[in-house]
Amino acid sequence: MNKEVVEKRIRIIDEDYTRELFGDLDKNVKIIEKEFDVDIASRESEIIIIGGKENVDAVNLLIPKLIDIIKNKKAITNQELMYTIQLIQEGNGHLVKQLLDEVMCVTYSGKIIKPKTIGQKRYIDAMKNNDVVFGIGPAGTGKTYLAVAMAVTAFKNKEVNRIILTRPAVEAGEKLGFLPGDLQDKVDPYLRPLNDALFDVLGGEVFAKHKERGTIEIAPLAYMRGRTLDSAFVILDEAQNTTPEQMKMFLTRLGYGSKTVVTGDITQIDLPNGKISGLKQITKVLKNVEGIDFIRLTKTDVIRHRLVKRIIEAYENYDKKEKR
């Protein structure tokens, strides 16, 4: 039996909204038509949707959400389009507004930093409400970048007096001893992602000024031993490459008025065979401790090139087959 075909019309008050919604060469609308098996047309100040009732109803919910994004940002990216479609398909369209309303900070170049997924929103809320937060998830989920943005926000609001970023200098297929230069030159490649994130948020001149003053410090994890980190926003990145002893050492550095964010991807451990990851262990040790939150980001929170999500899925499927 053929499904009932229905038609719905949505009135759009601004032609620019329609133009942005459809995209260059109607690329956005083609994606929506394919995802929901509907036909979409624009006529004067209306958007017309034709198809099966359930699908038309879903697109009728989707389009106003996309228009809200366009009103808010003047544009819509492919990632935002696909994620909003996903939320509608999951019955979570009401969550779109939460993402629009959340603004973390504005970079020196004027770019607004805000969560792009519900997982990222939960991560940001956890950093606001807890003194110790673990952000665990695959590459591209914004773990480190959002933590840096939160650190800069806390620093600008005078909630902390300094920012400290650290990473374990674990050799992932390369030998430190063969790299040119002194010790600092050898560890700099490990710290480069942290430098890049701060540079992007603060701008080169401001970043260099605070680094020179010591109000921003970027150093290997070994440099944290024996210190008490008061009134600081401390980020430990690539924590899957810590040993249990290093993780304990780091977490016990926490001082008064400080916040700590630990990020890592437990599927990307570069420790030698037989070594236990401190990040994997700590999820069991601290899982019921008040004031500490664990946020697990997934492939649905990936905000890099859409192929990154497919690559993660392919590795997950491969690992499942290998275990079987």
Question: What pTM was computed for the model?
Answer: 0.81
Residue type, 217: E
Query: Which among 50, 76, 101 is the end of a domain?
Result: 101
Cα–Cα distance list, 175 to 222, 239, 266, 313 (Å): 17, 19, 22, 30
Answer yes or no: do 242 and 279 share one domain: yes
Higher-confidence residue of 173 and 256: namely 256
pLDDT computed for residue 144 by the predictor: 92
Mean pLDDT of 236-250: 94
Answer whether 116's CB lies under 8 Å from 79's CB.
yes
Answer yes or no: do 43 and 75 share one domain: yes
Answer yes or no: do 224 and 294 share one domain: yes
Q: With a cut of 90, say whether residue 108 has pLDDT above it.
A: no
Mean pLDDT of 217-222: 87
**CATH code at position 161:** 3.40.50.300
Answer yes or no: do 126 and 220 share one domain: yes
**CATH code at position 59:** 3.30.1370.10
Mean pLDDT of 32-39: 94
Integer-rounded Cα Rg, in Å, for the chain is 23
Percent of residues in the chain assigned helix, strand, coil, to nearest 5: 50, 20, 30
Residue 175: which pLDDT band, with cuts at 50, 70 and 90? very low
Question: Could you tell me the residue range of the domain that residue 212 belongs to?
Answer: 105-323
Mean pLDDT of 198-213: 90
β-sheet bridge partners, residue 50:
7, 39
Answer yes or no: do 303 and 195 share one domain: yes
Answer yes or no: do 75 and 125 share one domain: no
| Burial category of 243 from C-beta neighbours within 10 Å (exposed 0-12, middle 13-18, buried 19 and up) | middle
β-sheet bridge partners, residue 49:
8, 40
Answer whether 131's CB lies under 8 Å from 257's CB.
no
| Burial category of 287 from C-beta neighbours within 10 Å (exposed 0-12, middle 13-18, buried 19 and up) | exposed
Tell me which residue of 84, 85, 120, 81 sits closest to 103, measured CA to CA. 120
Please give the mean pLDDT across all residues of the chain: 86
Tell me which residue of 75, 51, 79, 49 sits closest to 62, measured CA to CA. 49
Q: How far apart are CA 193 and CA 215, in angstroms?
A: 18
In sequence order, the 6+-apart residues with CB closer than 8 A to the CB of 22 are 28, 29, 42
pLDDT computed for residue 322 by the predictor: 77
Q: With a cut of 80, say whether residue 308 has pLDDT above it.
A: no
pLDDT computed for residue 195 by the predictor: 83
Supply 86's token pair: 């996903």
Mean pLDDT of 174-197: 61
Q: How far apart are CA 266 and CA 239, in angstroms?
A: 9
pLDDT computed for residue 187 by the predictor: 58
Query: Which among 66, 85, 101 is the end of a domain?
Result: 101
Query: Which among 101, 116, 134 is the end of a domain?
Result: 101
End-to-end CA distance of the chain: 42
Mean pLDDT of 296-304: 83
Task: Give the chain's domain count.
Answer: 2
Q: Please write the tens of the pLDDT for every residue from 41-89.
A: 998 889 999 999 999 999 999 999 999 988 887 788 888 898 899 899 9
Which uninterrupted H or E stretch holds 105?
Answer: strand 105-106
Higher-confidence residue of 184 and 67: namely 67
Higher-confidence residue of 3 and 209: namely 209
In sequence order, the 6+-apart residues with CB closer than 8 A to the CB of 295 are 119, 122, 123, 126, 133, 134, 135, 136, 137
Mean pLDDT of 85-112: 85
The size of the chain, in residues, is 324
